[in-house]
Amino acid sequence: MKKQVLDSSTGRTPLAERIRPADLDEFVGQRHLKSKLEALLRAKRLPSLLLFGPPGSGKSTLALLLARSTGRPYRRVSAPETGLAELRKQLSGVDLLILDEVHRYSKAQQDFFLPQLENGEVTLIATTTENPSFSVTRQLLSRLHVLRLMPLADPDLLEITNRGLKALNLEIPEESRRLVAGVSGGDARTLLNLLEYVAELPPEKREPQALRPALPEVIQRGDRGGDSHYELASAMIKSIRGSDPDAALYYMACLLESGEDPRFICRRLILSASEDVGLADPQALSLAVACQQAVEMVGMPEGFIPMAEAAVYLALAPKSNSSYAAYLAAQSEIRENGLQPVPLHLRNATTRLQREWGYGKDYKYPHNFPEGWAEQIYLPETLTGRRFYQPKEHGVERSLLQQHAQRLRRAANKQSARPFPGGTGK
C-alpha cells in the first residue's frame, strides 16, 4: 500500500503527494528523456542511476516510478537524515535504494556504495540538485547512469496547475493559473504549494489583479555552489560583452533575487570592465570600482542602484579585450618557452661586480630625451620584435594609439636635439 504523507498542521495529505503520478504516462515534463526512460523500463534489470536536476523537476517522482516498475522491494531515504549506520539497517531485506540528496554525503560516505554496486548487491537510484561533476565522487559517478532533468517548461507547469486545481476542486481564471505557474520558477513543488495557498483565499482574491499582490513572495533558490550560480553570472557578463543592457540587468536581477552576494556581482563587473571594455574606455574600470565601494557603503537593498548603473554603462561602452588578450599571449609564450634573460642594459647594477658584468650599461633614461622616449630594446633578445599587444582601433584606445604614434614620430624627428640633463632611472 502506498504510504500516505500527512500535513501535520491540517491532517491532510499535501497536494504534491495527492497528485503524484502512478505511472510514467502520467509523468509531466522531461520529454527529452522519454526514449531513455522507456528503454530503462524495458530492461531486464534496472541499472543504478543518478537523477540530476533543479528542485521540483520530478527527480523523486521519477525515482519512485522506476523503482516500482521493477516489482522489487525498495526503500527511500534522505542523505541529510540518514547516517551510514542507519543506512546499513535500512538496506536489510531490500536490494533497491532510492537516495535523495546524495551530494550531502561526504566522499567517505559515498565510497560506502562502491563495493555494493560493483557486485550488484544493491541498485541505487540517487537524486541531486548539485552538479555531479563536483558533488559526486568520480568513483561513484562511474558506476551510475546520469539522467539530467531540466526546469519544467510553461506548458508542463500549466498542466500540473490544472491537475492540482482539479484535485482541490477549485476553479480560478486562466490568467490567474498562468500567474501562479509563472512565479513558481519551473518548480512543481513550489507551484502546488502556491495552489494550496490560493485555495484558502476568498474568491475575490483569486482574480488576476487581486491575486498578484496576495501571493506570498516566492524566494528563488540561490544555487551558489551549483550550475545556476555560474550560468547566471556567465549570462550577465556575456550580455555586457554583447552590449545588451537589458539582458545584463535581467541576469543581474536574477542573481540578486536568488540571494547572491552583491560583492560577487561587483567583482564580476570589475573584471568585465578590464577584460571586455578595457582600453576602449579606461573610465569603465574606475566606474566599476566605484560601484563596488558604493555597494559596500550603502549596503542592500539600495546597492542595486549603483550596480545597475555600472552594468548599463559597461554594456553601452565600446569594447576592447586587447590588454587581456595581450597578457594571455605573453603568458602562453612563457609557459611554452620559459623565462628569457632580461637584457643587460635593463638590469640594475647595485654592486661593483654587476657593473663589471655590464648591468645597466648603455641604458637610456627616457625622461632625458625629447617626448620622454628613447629608442632601445626592452624585450629579451630572443623575443625582439615579438608583438603580444594587438590594439583595437575604436573607442578611446584608438585615440591612445594615435597619441602614441604622434609622440614617437615627434621624438624621431628630433634626432639632432641633445638629451636633457636629468635622472638615470636606476
* Residue 239: how many other CB atoms lie within 10 Å: 22
386 falls within a domain: yes
Q: Predicted confidence band at 4 (pLDDT cuts at 50, 70, 90)?
A: very low
For residues 295 and 384, state if they share a domain.
no
Most confident of 43-52, 147-156, 307-316, 329-338: 307-316
What whole-number distance in Å separates Cα of residue 199 and Cα of residue 165? 9
For residues 75 and 110, state if they share a domain.
yes
For residues 111 and 70, state if they share a domain.
yes
399 falls within a domain: yes
Of the residues 148, 177, 193, which one is the last residue of a structural domain?
A: 148
Cis peptide before 419 (omega within 30 of 0): no
122 falls within a domain: yes
Q: Predicted confidence band at 6 (pLDDT cuts at 50, 70, 90)?
A: very low
Taking all residues of the chain, what is their mean pLDDT, rounded to a whole number?
84
For residues 34 and 137, state if they share a domain.
yes
246 falls within a domain: yes
Of the residues 148, 172, 205, which one is the last residue of a structural domain?
A: 148
As a whole number, mean pLDDT of residues 225-241 equals: 80
**SS3 (DSSP) at 373:** coil
pLDDT above 60: residue 421: no
Residues 6+ apart with CB under 8 A from 362: 345
DSSP string of 74-137?
Answer: EEEEEGGG--HHHHHHHTTT-SEEEEE-GGGS-HHHHHTTHHHHHTTS-EEEEEESS-HHHHS-
For residues 308 and 383, state if they share a domain.
no
For residues 310 and 350, state if they share a domain.
no
Residues 6+ apart with CB under 8 A from 316: 243, 245
Domain extent at residue 406: 340-413
Q: Look at the chain and report how many structural domains it folds into.
A: 3
> Can you tell me which residue has the cell 575604436?
394
pLDDT tens-digit map of 71-126? 888 888 888 888 888 888 877 778 888 988 888 888 888 888 888 888 888 889 99
**SS3 (DSSP) at 51:** strand
pLDDT tens-digit map of 190-223? 889 889 888 888 888 888 888 888 877 654 444 4
**What are φ and ψ of residue 379, in 5° steps?**
-70, 155
Q: Predicted confidence band at 1 (pLDDT cuts at 50, 70, 90)?
A: very low
What whole-number distance in Å separates Cα of residue 375 and Cα of residue 369? 10
CATH of the domain at 355: 1.10.3710.10
Select from 72, 15, 424 the least CA-distant residue to 200: 15
pLDDT at residue number 248? 93
As a whole number, mean pLDDT of residues 257-267 equals: 86
Of the residues 283, 316, 349, which one is the last residue of a structural domain?
A: 316
188 falls within a domain: no
Kindly report whether the global pTM for this prediction surpasses the value 0.75. Answer: no
pLDDT at residue number 328? 92
pLDDT at residue number 207? 86
CATH of the domain at 277: 1.20.272.10
229 CB-contact burial (10 Å; exposed 0-12 / middle 13-18 / buried 19+): middle
208 falls within a domain: no
As a whole number, mean pLDDT of residues 323-334 equals: 91
237 falls within a domain: yes
For residues 137 and 40, state if they share a domain.
yes
For residues 36 and 141, state if they share a domain.
yes
Which CB contacts under 8 angstroms, 24+ apart, belong to 325-331? 325/390, 326/388, 326/389, 326/390, 327/388, 329/388, 330/388
Order of strands, sheet of 123-128, starting from the edge strand that comes earlier in the sequence = 74-78, 96-100, 123-128, 49-52, 145-148
For residues 144 and 245, state if they share a domain.
no
For 145-212, strand residue ranges (E) read 145-148
For residues 312 and 389, state if they share a domain.
no
For residues 65 and 129, state if they share a domain.
yes
pLDDT at residue number 426? 60
Q: Which residues of 270-284 are buried (b: 16+ CB within 10 A; e: fewer)?
A: bebbbbbbbbbbbeb
